[in-house]
Amino acid sequence: MVRGLREAGVEKLFGYPGGAVLDICDAFAVEDSGIDFILTRHEQGAIFAADGYARATGKTGVCLATSGPGATNLITGLANAHMDSVPVVAITGQVTTRLLGTDAFQEADTFGITLPITKHNYLVASAGELPQVLRQAFHIASTGRRGPVLVDIPRDVAQSLVSAPSGGDDLGLPGYQPTAEGHPVMLRRAAEALLAAEKPLIWAGGGVIASGAADEVRRLAELTGAPVMMSLMGLGALPHHHPLSLGMLGMHGTPWANWAAKECDLLLALGVRFDDRATGRLESFAPHAALVHIDIDPAEIGKLRKPMVPVVADLGVALPALRELVAEQRQEGRAEAAADGLPVATARWRRAVAKRRSETRWPQVDRPDCRLHPVDVLSELGRQAGPEAVVVADVGQHQMFAAQLYPVGGPRRFLTSGGLGSMGYAVPAAMGAQAGLPESTVLAVVGDGGFQMTGNELATIADWRLPVKIVIINNGYLGMVRQWQELFFERRYMAARITGPDFVKLAEAYGVRGLRVESSAELGAAVAQTLAHPGPVVLDCIVEAEANVFPIVPPGKGSEDTVEVGSMGQ
């Protein structure tokens, strides 16, 4: 088992022991594995850490848990990785094979429970299968549309001795052949559509990050002049400062990105799944646009919106080919060029988007008085930590403020739970990211609610001296719940107020430095101290309790129904 992990290139394993995996843990004690076994304080922390490690490094994250409750505590993390296409291999213990199905102590049908929320899973019947199973698991997790794979190992299998064969070329997966290269006819049609469009727009999703295609998106955008909007999962596909970057679209997206989506005549969708939080009411999303959709998963193409040009391909392979075809057709004189080399109509489109952006109030801040606002905190963090930092956002208002305002400098520098929206994600995921990128500045941006779900991982952070900077946006509410109750439920606040401990004292109890800031005047110095400290820090930011994140497209509505600051009683 340990040798199989080492052969797969595993350097970090996040886990929590238990009876059914003691033999595996013992192998780590006996075998000189070269793998850091990072003991977390909860199995959910282990899989979120593996997820954060995978997203930040591009490698496959690995976690270990025992049978029964250990395995079921991985469920949220598996679903999270499955929704966001994150390569994770989860190894779980199981009761002995003769006890399967008898309701034995700490037995759960881990295989059956996880079947809908994993890319693939295994129940290992004999030790002889294990070397091949591990090779398959890592290959499946990290290729095609990436995702989590679970390997469930009964204890008697873990106790068996087996002579592990050397790895061969044959993985024994004849039916698993993900398509990498796009069909040449479809790619040529996509190139023709891009050059014929007067208002082309690129929509970059999480698939761009996963496939390592961010540079290719930039090159294609610069060649065609098409602005680029990004989904929450696609942030970093184009650097924040790039002149063609429109930032995030969707429910809390930038007004100019949502406007561009409404006005474009060609939408090039790259590695996206047309999530409802991005599109709003689907009927009103990009209503005038012909759609070119490129995705490695054929199930996503046409699932919600039928494309004019469908391309099943890995973006890292397809986009260079598409760019070459666009350049070739332009050289053949198929598009009238302006002085800057771009098509005349496209140059007009870029000016229109820039004009819309310059006329828009941003950021949209509902500031009742001079108290500290989340916008202040995220703006100051961005100013001091800069675009090279890795930002791990939890789920809620602070997540949207971070997505709107942080100057993300490139791919794998903005990590968040996008599809599942798992509160409690940020602290353990930042821990995993920091373990994988020890020289990077890693910021965990969390709410006081989400922090209390997995803040116990401060103990792991302290044990391993991981210099994670945890910034708590502390408003005393479950902020997004309260905002929706304010806007859509006539301020009937129910189960939205939340109390918490003194987070500074809590951090210090774990051996972590704690700081608190309550005003804008104190903010700059507090952030500077946080970033300068060589170890982990918890910065507790006491912000305006009823600050809202704007703009917001109400659920089930389109961008034409956007609520701005000053609307609906604000």
- Set out the domains of the chain in order of their start, with CATH numbers: 2-158 (3.40.50.970), 184-358 (3.40.50.1220), 374-549 (3.40.50.970)
pLDDT of amino acid 161? 86
Distance (Å, rounded) from C-alpha 438 to C-alpha 226? Answer: 36
What residues contact residue 570 under an 8 Å CB cut-off, 6+ apart? 366, 548, 550
Q: Peptide bond preceding 363: is omega within 30 degrees of 0, i.e. cis?
A: yes
Give the end-to-end CA distance of the chain in Å, rounded to a whole number.
58
Task: Name the 3-class secondary structure at 471.
Answer: strand
Mean pLDDT is lowest, of 51-60, 361-370, 483-492, 493-502, for: 361-370
321, two tokens: 């080919």
Other C-beta atoms within 10 Å of 246: how many?
Answer: 26
212, two tokens: 């390592």
Residue 88: what are its φ and ψ, rounded to 5°?
-135, 135
Other C-beta atoms within 10 Å of 567: how many?
Answer: 12
Chain centroid to CA 150: 20
Digit-coded pLDDT (tens) for 22-61 = 999 999 988 788 999 999 999 999 999 999 999 999 999 9
**Phi/psi-derived region of residue 569, left when phi > 0, alpha when psi is between -120 and 50, beta in every other case:** left
Q: Is the pLDDT of residue 345 over 90?
A: no
Q: Could you tell me which residues are beta bridge partners of residue 538?
A: 470, 514
Residue range 115-122: average pLDDT?
98
Contact (Cβ atoms closer than 8 angstroms) between residue 482 and residue 546: yes
Distance (Å, rounded) from C-alpha 471 to C-alpha 526? Answer: 11
> In 495-529, which positions are buried (b, 16+ CB within 10 angstroms) versus exposed (e)?
ebebeeeebbebbeebebbbbbbeeeeebeebbee
The residue among 156, 149, 154, 157 whose CA lies nearest residue 173 is 149
Distance (Å, rounded) from C-alpha 118 to C-alpha 111? Answer: 10
Residue 215 amino acid letter: D
Residue range 496-500: average pLDDT?
96
Contact (Cβ atoms closer than 8 angstroms) between residue 261 and residue 285: yes
Q: How many CA atoms lie within 13 A of 372 on its CB side?
A: 23
Residue 3: what are its φ and ψ, rounded to 5°?
-65, -35
Distance (Å, rounded) from C-alpha 450 to C-alpha 371? Answer: 22
Digit-coded pLDDT (tens) for 60-83 = 999 999 999 999 999 999 999 999
Share of the chain above pLDDT 90, in %: 89
Task: Name the 3-class secondary structure at 320.
Answer: helix
Calculate helix-pair angle for 255-263, 344-358, nearest 10 degrees: 150
Which run of H or of E encompasses 380?
helix 374-385
Distance (Å, rounded) from C-alpha 33 to C-alpha 12? Answer: 11
Q: Could you tell me which residues are beta bridge partners of residue 447?
A: 473
463, two tokens: 């044990």
Digit-coded pLDDT (tens) for 534-546 = 999 999 999 999 9
Contact (Cβ atoms closer than 8 angstroms) between residue 41 and residue 456: yes
**Phi/psi-derived region of residue 495, left when phi > 0, alpha when psi is between -120 and 50, beta in every other case:** left
Contact (Cβ atoms closer than 8 angstroms) between residue 76 and residue 421: no
Mean pLDDT of the chain: 94
| HEC profile of 238-273 | CCCCCCCEEEECCCCCCHHHHHHHHHCCEEEEECCC
pLDDT of amino acid 361? 87
Digit-coded pLDDT (tens) for 157-191 = 999 988 766 556 789 999 999 999 999 999 999 99
Chain centroid to CA 169: 32
Distance (Å, rounded) from C-alpha 224 to C-alpha 1? Answer: 50
- Give 368's pLDDT tier (boundaries 50, 70, 90): low
Strand order in the sheet with 390-393: 414-416, 390-393, 442-447, 469-474, 537-542, 513-517
Go through the chain and tell me how many residues it has: 570
161, two tokens: 């001795």
- pTM (two decimals): 0.96
Which run of H or of E encompasses 63?
strand 61-65
Share of the chain above pLDDT 70, in %: 96
- Strand residue runs (E) in 394-456: 414-416, 442-447
Q: Is the pLDDT of residue 196 over 60?
A: yes
